[in-house]
Amino acid sequence: MTAAGPLTGIRVIEVGTMLAGPYATLLLADLGAKVVKIEPPGGEISRTVGESYFASLNRNKSGLCLDLNSEVGQHRLAELAADSDALVVNLRPSSIRRLGLTYEALRRFNVRIVCVAITGYGLHGGDDPAFDYVIQAAAGSAALTGEPGGPPTLPGYSSADNSTGMCAALGLLAAIISGRGGQVDVSLFDVMVSQLNYHAAAYLNEGTEPQRRPHGVHPCYVPAQLFPTADGYLGLFVTHDGFWKAFAAEAGIHGFETMTERASRRAEVLTVVASALADRHRRRLGATAAAAGGARGSRSDAARGPRGESPSDRARGRNAPRR
């Protein structure tokens, strides 16, 4: 950040590896926190993945090489803990305890320090390996993704690590605001299970089994999925009748005026919408629906990304160079 952020004055130690921990502290650093990233001799493992990978997760941080297995490293850790507001670590629970990276171990140096442990299944949940894709499979999100009759599908990016990093940053800030030091225990598995929210609620309360639907169809809203067009796929999400009225007028569709009717006649609605969109171009669609608040998207290639193509890209500075 070029100006002082809202977290200026907050000091955070990171003993992070790969993604979840570094992403949590990246969010804090972008908001002005002073983050000191401790790396072992030889560097943190994500440096071997590639320069862009490491840089994308570690901007705005200071680096410090320490061997936490050594007496010297532990002494320096104690000094840092005494002068810091929080510590974020993502390692196996046994390693976190062995290296003294818990509140129980560090409170003697600073009773107000907040220690955030990011693990696969919790600090007391065992040492099983818990990489992002493993967690997505274990928690059930992969089973909900993909085509009916096909295999479970992963989204192509690290949704478990990113989501857990955000939760860890939130937990850290909540603990700091409380004014009391303590242990914050964040589990990748718990975070991903929590994101099943309405799927889990429907199963627990109504016995409705979660299932995969073609083109990523939303289980509640109709239409809400990807539709093929003349020049690629368009993401359409109609959340209420006003959105539908605007979209239907633009697409030349008649009927299905209420959400209740669209939900009860889902197959008919999807057939009609698919037919209406099949020979249209994405950039010529959506203006009316957007004006009414309807959500639609035209990008289908992640590599293209935001390149200043839209007013939103320019207004948000998504392509502004980082200093």
Catalytic residue at 161? Answer: yes
* Residue the block writes with tokens 């889902």: 266
Q: At what angle do helices 51-58 and 20-30 cross, to 10 degrees?
A: 50
Here the contacts of 33-36 (C-beta below 8 Å, separation 24 or greater) are: 33/5, 33/7, 33/8, 34/9, 34/10, 34/62, 35/60, 35/61, 35/62, 36/11, 36/12, 36/61, 36/62, 36/63, 36/64, 36/80, 36/84
In this structure, the dihedral spanned by the alpha carbons of residues 50, 141, 130 and 55, taken in order and rounded to 10 degrees, is 20
Token pair recorded at residue 252: 């030349």
Which pair of structure tokens corresponds to residue 64?
């410090």
Mind giving me the DSSP string for 12-33? EEEE--TTHHHHHHHHHHHTT-
Q: Angle 241-251/266-277 helices, nearest 10 degrees?
A: 40
- Among 85, 132, 161, 190, the one annotated catalytic: 161
Q: Mind telling me the catalytic residues? A: 161
